[in-house]
Structure 1
Amino acid sequence: MQDLKVITPEELKGLDEPRITPSQNQSEFSKKIYLESYGCQMNFADSEVVTSILMEQGYSTTSNIQDADTILLNTCAIRENAEQKIRNRLQSFKPLKAKNPHITVGILGCMAERLKTKLLEEEKIVDLIAGPDAYRDLPRLLEEIEDGNKAVNVFLSREETYGNIEPVRLHTNGVNALVSIMRGCNNMCSFCVVPYTRGRERSRDLNSILKECDNLYKEGYREVTLLGQNVDSYYWVNHENQQSVNFAQLLEKVAQSNPDLRIRFSTSHPKDITDEVLHTMAAYDNICKNIHLPAQSGNNRILELMNRTYTREWYLDRIKAIRHILGESCGISHDLIAGFCSETEEEHQDTLSLMEEVKYDFGYMFAYSERPGTPAEKKLKDDVPDEVKKRRLQEIIDLQRIHSGYRNQFMVGTIQRVLVEGDSKKSSEHHYGRTDNNKVVVFPKLNMELKGKFVDVKITHCTTGTLLGELIN
């Protein structure tokens, strides 16, 4: 392999860094909201819904915290360090609150749902707590605070999808956008807080999804990512005609509605991704050939303790089906946990051997973090020493580095269709975009501004994280 760049753990940790909502000015007299988003893509999509709800009530947003009347943090609770980051951030607001006691500080999202009113007791600076299903209630909650009260709504709904709310696009480059198709999770993995912080699965109205995708295309967007905790569980019933739509059928309808709009989706659960979905992906050029398929472990005993409801053999059969139906070039990424409860060295080696067999393009890799209230915390013992977790995690990261390089090298010499997303981070003389299988490509502009365009690029060489090439059309 040539010119391979090392992906560091620090770069992976960057996924947890907050994104600050840019200014959306309405009136200099309107109350200003400063909003930071942490965690997964669902949280960023939720922040766009929150902004829409508040702007409809006359609020505006600001990217300058000093100008804010209200500070909102949309939080993640998936790992302990994600919550600790929020607590540290709250400490930094104390001088602002001391200077202006009328500033409202609110916690939204999964951490708010997990800790509920306990957050008000532990973090005196917090005035407002709102769970992921309570965002429509934010205007009322903010009014309640104006009356001198603390405000809390952590009610979990079995119906709320925010399907009729048009998000205010915040975390976007104007080329690709997030479209939430369902909320919640029924899978009850033993290590995971999501079913407790986001509630049960419910799917969004098909017509509202199609309308949102159509509007995005008209606004100039050329790619959408369909989001859900488990998109393969999407199942919507039209009660007017008693017809149902599953995820494969949804994919097809979105693909057919606009052939010039590129479609991605995340996340898939190995037990649910069907051949029907794979054949639908193969049938439409505008559905990207890329699948995020979390494995979590390569060992059957650990998978059973995790309540993943599939075996290593089942998982590898799904990989085989992906390669058979979509081809060797289909991008496959993973989630893996190092050092889950009672994991032995031999079981860790099973995870490494799974990686060797699949050779993933990319992965999200973490040491196990015990989450209060989960089945693993209640019934299992977090008995793998931290230093062992860190060493095993590093071995996983190191192996993924090799495989990312291998998979990228596989594409050198090919011609790839690339959607240009903007300037390269390192040089305004270069564009960057992504291939159908989700590889980042950087290539010289040649004095052409091509943002939002599809172009053909010949891949000339690579690093472990990036394909480098030259424009051929």
Structure 2
Amino acid sequence: MPRYAITTFGCQMNVHDSERMHEVLRGAGYVESDDPRAADVVVLNTCSVREKAEQKLLSEVGRLAKLKRERPELVLVVAGCVAQQEGEKLLTRAPSIDLVVGPDNIPELPRLVDELSLGAPPLVRTVFDIEEPRFLTALSVAAGSPTAYVTIMKGCDERCSFCIVPYTRGPERYRPSDEIVAEIAALAAAGVREVTLLGQTVNSYNDPQKALPRAPGASADDPDESEFAALLRRIATEVPDLKRLRYTSPHPRHLTPSLIQAHAELSVLARHVHLPVQSGSDRILKRMIRRYTRAEYVTRTAALVRAVPDVALSTDIIVGFPGETDDDFAATLSLVREIGYKGLFGFKYSVRPYTPARKLPDDVPEAVKSERLARLFEASEELLGAHLRGLVGSGQRVLVEAEGKEGGASFSGRTERNEIVHIHGAEGLDLRGEIVDVSIVRANKHSLQGELTEAARAAARSLAPAAPKARAAGGRRSLPVLPVSPGGH
């Protein structure tokens, strides 16, 4: 049987796209290889949000080109956002590439590889599914894992000046709510405890079926209103076995009263929201075409915190955007401290092709960008450290996701607020997929260390014989991932 290997660069959406590739290739009779050198087909699934992702791709292509010279029959595929962005140009830049395939063309992957095996020249397939959007599932990949991703929309209509996503992912297309709920129900039945809803602007969702009732708090006159809160309520009602529900990445404009009310009333919603702000300066936000002011962002997040007092907020920030002055950056630092983020992804601005910002002079020196990024991370680390130290001595409920580095006596997982917790002293227990009560005994730099409560230990021992085999075995393979960003907007 032919063998394949996939390497993923980038965000959660790319990871989920890779899972869908696993699904379609398996369905066509392929078998996964852990070693690309033993594979007949090697897929590089790419991200183009940051410049370094393209550099990593070309470096990996160069490495595989040497392997291809030894095995000319090897099929090298570049998929994802760089594939969509560059298309035919990739074949010129890297002649060792056989196939370039965009995110919307994943279902065609086996057929295209078959054409190559029959002697077709290098192929490019990067066509958006505008008229009839397709949303592939990856149930066999996710089954057995405690967590899974479910795509509810794709594309983006925001047109932020720095962002290439509208070019590489197309306009917004939404998935019918029936399909979304059915996939989540199937995942929950297979042992998945937590689902993360995915979309480029996930909270702009509107049901193409027009089957969702208006959510409490939704206003027909609010241009930022969507049906996302209504979708969350339907999932909570119709999939009661689901223990946690997350989503990424939302746009601040769509943090509406109806969504805030859903967070206050739905116990399944995790108490963590990743809400990209990008800058704390109104002048820079306007140049970024973010369509909100600092004051509007603060007002909306403050309303969320009032409704859910222990919610944890994290964000994305770009430093060194064209025209950013010291005062603009100072405004960003002050916003970080005002909001009190519990996590932060920071990036130096880099010019991306096809974006409006490419026409602006990239006038912030690289050394200044680096210095500002270091100061941003310093502020973030200070906030996170104080938060984690404040949790020592508390009790937390942790969804256990994997064994720890020490093996069977330790595990790791996350709280509802997304804090990472390492659990020690669990000898003889298999906690994967369980939600357990943990006493926090120490704060690390970016995580917590905890111990099972006696009640949790007794409960785990009593449940051990009945633990589902798939979940206890870890079920889902780990995908090789080269992180770039959370994919936020």
Equivalent residue, structure 2, for 1:109: 80
Whole-angstrom distance in 2 between the partners of 1:173 and 1:405: 34
Instruction: Confirm or deny: 8 A CA contact 1:352 1:396 kept in the other structure.
Output: yes
Deviates more, 1:91-100 or 1:461-470: 461-470
Whole-angstrom distance in 2 between the partners of 1:446 and 1:437: 23
Residue type of the partner of 2:365? P
Equivalent residue, structure 1, for 2:377: 397
Alignment of 1:358-377 (within 5 A): 358-377=339-358
The reply on whether 1:158 has 2:108 as its aligned counterpart is no
- CA gap of 1:318–1:242, structure 2 versus 1, over 3 A, is closer
The reply on whether 1:201 has 2:164 as its aligned counterpart is no
Equivalent residue, structure 1, for 2:220: none
Instruction: Confirm or deny: 8 A CA contact 1:420 1:432 kept in the other structure.
Output: yes
Instruction: Confirm or deny: 8 A CA contact 1:49 1:162 kept in the other structure.
Output: no
SS of alignment partner, residue 268 of structure 1: coil
Whole-angstrom distance in 1 between the partners of 2:213 and 2:452: 46
- CA gap of 1:426–1:388, structure 2 versus 1, over 3 A, is farther
Equivalent residue, structure 2, for 1:98: 69
Deviates more, 1:121-130 or 1:409-418: 409-418
Whole-angstrom distance in 1 between the partners of 2:36 and 2:137: 26
Instruction: Confirm or deny: 8 A CA contact 1:206 1:236 kept in the other structure.
Output: yes
The reply on whether 1:277 has 2:249 as its aligned counterpart is no
Instruction: Confirm or deny: 8 A CA contact 1:164 1:208 kept in the other structure.
Output: no
Equivalent residue, structure 2, for 1:317: 299
The reply on whether 1:444 has 2:424 as its aligned counterpart is yes
Residue type of the partner of 1:151? L
Whole-angstrom distance in 2 between the partners of 1:303 and 1:56: 46
Alignment of 1:177-326 (within 5 A): 177-238=148-209, 246-261=227-242, 262-326=244-308
Shift of 1:136: 1.6
- CA gap of 1:430–1:139, structure 2 versus 1, over 3 A, is closer
Under a length normalisation based on structure 2, what TM-score does the superposition of the two structures give? 0.87
Instruction: Confirm or deny: 8 A CA contact 1:290 1:437 kept in the other structure.
Output: yes
Shift of 1:144: 2.4
Instruction: Confirm or deny: 8 A CA contact 1:182 1:229 kept in the other structure.
Output: yes
Structure 2 unaligned blocks of 5 or more: 215-225, 456-489
- CA gap of 1:332–1:65, structure 2 versus 1, over 3 A, is same
Whole-angstrom distance in 1 between the partners of 2:388 and 2:238: 32
Whole-angstrom distance in 2 between the partners of 1:160 and 1:110: 20
The reply on whether 1:347 has 2:328 as its aligned counterpart is yes
The two structures, once aligned, show a CA RMSD in angstroms of 1.8
Alignment of 1:379-390 (within 5 A): 379-390=359-370
- CA gap of 1:248–1:90, structure 2 versus 1, over 3 A, is same
Cα shift readout 1:420-457 (whole Å, capped 9, x = no counterpart): 11222355422221111111112223323221111111
Shift of 1:466: 0.9
Instruction: Confirm or deny: 8 A CA contact 2:144 2:192 kept in the other structure.
Output: no
- CA gap of 1:66–1:446, structure 2 versus 1, over 3 A, is closer
Equivalent residue, structure 2, for 1:65: 36
- CA gap of 1:220–1:187, structure 2 versus 1, over 3 A, is same
SS of alignment partner, residue 92 of structure 2: helix
- CA gap of 1:159–1:165, structure 2 versus 1, over 3 A, is farther
Instruction: Confirm or deny: 8 A CA contact 1:113 1:154 kept in the other structure.
Output: yes
Deviates more, 1:33-42 or 1:259-268: 259-268
SS of alignment partner, residue 262 of structure 2: helix
The higher-RCO structure (CA 8 Å, 6+ apart) is: 2
Q: 1:149 aligns with which of 107, 118, 121?
A: 121
Structure 1 unaligned blocks of 5 or more: 1-29
Whole-angstrom distance in 2 between the partners of 1:426 and 1:193: 41
Cα shift readout 1:278-312 (whole Å, capped 9, x = no counterpart): 21122122210110000100000000000000000
Whole-angstrom distance in 2 between the partners of 1:446 and 1:112: 45
- CA gap of 1:107–1:227, structure 2 versus 1, over 3 A, is same
Whole-angstrom distance in 2 between the partners of 1:446 and 1:130: 45
Instruction: Confirm or deny: 8 A CA contact 1:161 1:182 kept in the other structure.
Output: no
Instruction: Confirm or deny: 8 A CA contact 1:185 1:230 kept in the other structure.
Output: yes
- CA gap of 1:446–1:69, structure 2 versus 1, over 3 A, is closer
Whole-angstrom distance in 2 between the partners of 1:325 and 1:341: 36
Instruction: Confirm or deny: 8 A CA contact 2:144 2:190 kept in the other structure.
Output: no
Q: 2:51 aligns with which of 80, 91, 105?
A: 80
Instruction: Confirm or deny: 8 A CA contact 2:408 2:426 kept in the other structure.
Output: no
Residue type of the partner of 1:457? V
Instruction: Confirm or deny: 8 A CA contact 2:20 2:137 kept in the other structure.
Output: yes
Whole-angstrom distance in 1 between the partners of 2:387 and 2:157: 33
Cα shift readout 1:27-46 (whole Å, capped 9, x = no counterpart): xxx22111111100001111
Whole-angstrom distance in 1 between the partners of 2:373 and 2:212: 48
- CA gap of 1:443–1:59, structure 2 versus 1, over 3 A, is closer
Whole-angstrom distance in 2 between the partners of 1:304 and 1:286: 36
Whole-angstrom distance in 1 between the partners of 2:22 and 2:317: 33
Instruction: Confirm or deny: 8 A CA contact 1:142 1:151 kept in the other structure.
Output: no
Equivalent residue, structure 2, for 1:453: 434
Cα shift readout 1:61-114 (whole Å, capped 9, x = no counterpart): 211112211111000001111100000001101221111111111110100011
Shift of 1:162: 3.4
Instruction: Confirm or deny: 8 A CA contact 1:429 1:445 kept in the other structure.
Output: yes
Under a length normalisation based on structure 1, what TM-score does the superposition of the two structures give? 0.89
Residue type of the partner of 1:345? D
Equivalent residue, structure 1, for 2:396: 416
Cα shift readout 1:210-253 (whole Å, capped 9, x = no counterpart): 111111112111111111111111101326x7978811011111
Whole-angstrom distance in 2 between the partners of 1:347 and 1:424: 42
Residue type of the partner of 1:417? R
Shift of 1:376: 0.2
Whole-angstrom distance in 1 between the partners of 2:137 and 2:421: 34
Instruction: Confirm or deny: 8 A CA contact 2:144 2:191 kept in the other structure.
Output: no
- CA gap of 1:305–1:297, structure 2 versus 1, over 3 A, is same
Cα shift readout 1:185-211 (whole Å, capped 9, x = no counterpart): 111110010000000111111111111
Q: Percent identity?
A: 38
- CA gap of 1:410–1:242, structure 2 versus 1, over 3 A, is closer
